[in-house]
Amino acid sequence: MALGSDSTHTFLLPPYVQPQISTQITDSEWDSALKLWTVSLSLLLKSDDEQFAIQLCENASLKKFLETFLQIRAKIHETTSDSMPQQVTELEKKVLAVLLRSVERSIMYESITLAESLYNTKLFSVPFLLDFVIIYAKSNRGYSRQFVENVIDIIPALPHDFKEYSNVIIDHVMSVQQACEKVSSLVVDLNDNAEVLMAALEEMRGYIFLMMDIAITMDCLFTASDTVTKLFINRSHVNEDEDFISVIRNLYDATLPIVLGLIQGPNAVVEITRDVNILKQALASCIYRLLYECFFVPLGFTTGEVDTITSTLGNGNQYSDDDNANVIVNSLNDILFSFIERSESFKSVQTFVDAPLLLDIEMEFNLSQKLTRIKNDILHGYPFDKTRNVR
């Protein structure tokens, strides 16, 4: 039943399915479902705030649709860059509009904000927000930031949830690193057993896919929320000394070269080589975005809606005598020097093949140009490491 003027009216929505994935739904059935989803969301957006809140909190089929839509569309966005049908694009826009409205502070449900109610009923959660940013962070950066930042502002418990999630991510990365190194040592002993060797390499490919999923998700998350991004900077695992950046750097500079070394020559596996290359690009983008949001943006760098490479620095003079700017530059300086100290010097390398993480970030995002702007506009031409003495 469609929405009506009576607030007791509701409507039923089937969970979202993807026609190319599901074999149990015909094209005709999917077209009918698509029409129902689209019309129902349009009616929902036209409803008043009270009815809008009631539907989101009490209509189980609507909540199930939103959950399944984000889960399925996020997985598709992660695994393909193909263009999607116009009808699906329009449906994504309507879902975005519903979610943006759901975090308006003025919309209440039973004496609390609608957003708080959706958090209490487990719709708004870290996994839900991660699916959201995978779908929208790159194509709708402004709106995705608006949604995530509003949710975090309204729900004080979410930053704590993301802190717990950061521990899980660091643990996953360290586990992948250890597993890859274990499989790598196994592969060395299996050169004469082709069947077992290929099984071991396929296992390693699974770990690479897991890391690819983590890297793409983190890149989108850091694009969508500077608040969450700052939770990850220098974030150490609960039981380890390693912080998030160090764990990624160790995987990138120490473990992945071992993986690539094993699949060259007689063990050459084109698919794994390609997967590692894609993973490296995702990791480099993830760490660059982390550095950009935590250090370059506070120093005055701005970027357009889409372009994340060509950035401009605001009026540098406003930072020239600012102690806070020195603190920011010091912290960035320490991180960059930790990269340099662990890099092999005077070695010929190829970008996104055997180059270290810092070099790949430089080649992809022109990091040195931004550091030169900091040197000239904030440090008054002093070498970048001069600020290490300003404590």
The DSSP string of 103-131 is: T-TT-EETTEEHHHHHHHTTSSSHHHHHH
Query: Exposure string (b/e) for 269-279, b if CB count within 10 Å is 16 or more?
Result: beebeebbeeb
Residue 36 within any structural domain of the chain = yes
Range of the domain at 140: 27-155
Residues 105 and 248 in one domain: no
* Rounded Cα gap, residues 227 and 269, in angstroms: 40
Q: Are 263 and 269 in contact (CB under 8 A)?
A: yes
Strands 112-113 and 301-302 come out as unpaired
What sign results for the dihedral spanned by CA atoms 191, 196, 200, 205?
Answer: positive
Residues 149 and 163 in one domain: no
Residue 295 within any structural domain of the chain = yes
Residues 329 and 316 in one domain: yes
Residue 19 within any structural domain of the chain = no
Query: Exposure string (b/e) for 354-370, b if CB count within 10 Å is 16 or more?
Result: bbbbbbbbbebbebeeb
Residues 218 and 352 in one domain: yes
Model pLDDT for residues 171-197, shown as the tens digit of each residue: 989 998 888 888 777 766 666 666 777
Residue 122 within any structural domain of the chain = yes
Strands 312-313 and 301-302 come out as antiparallel
Average pLDDT, the chain: 84
Q: pTM of the entire structure?
A: 0.84
Q: Are 183 and 172 in contact (CB under 8 A)?
A: no
Model pLDDT for residues 218-277, shown as the tens digit of each residue: 999 998 998 899 888 866 555 556 789 999 999 999 989 888 877 665 555 567 788 888
* Rounded Cα gap, residues 18 and 251, in angstroms: 34
Q: Give backbone dihedrals phi and psi of 204, rounded to 5 degrees, phi first.
A: -65, -40
Instruction: Tell me which residue of 102, 105, 99 sits closest to 140, measured CA to CA.
Output: 99
Number of domains in the chain: 2
Residues 122 and 166 in one domain: no
pLDDT recorded at residue 7: 46
Residues 241 and 147 in one domain: no
Residues 174 and 59 in one domain: no
Instruction: Tell me which residue of 261, 225, 223, 230 sits closest to 244, measured CA to CA.
Output: 230
- 353 or 237: which carries more pLDDT confidence? 353
Q: Are 221 and 127 in contact (CB under 8 A)?
A: no
Which of 105, 136, 155 is the endpoint of a domain? Answer: 155
Confidence category of residue 146, pLDDT binned at 50, 70, 90: very high
Model pLDDT for residues 49-70, shown as the tens digit of each residue: 999 999 999 999 999 999 999 9
Q: Are 115 and 154 in contact (CB under 8 A)?
A: yes
pLDDT recorded at residue 5: 43
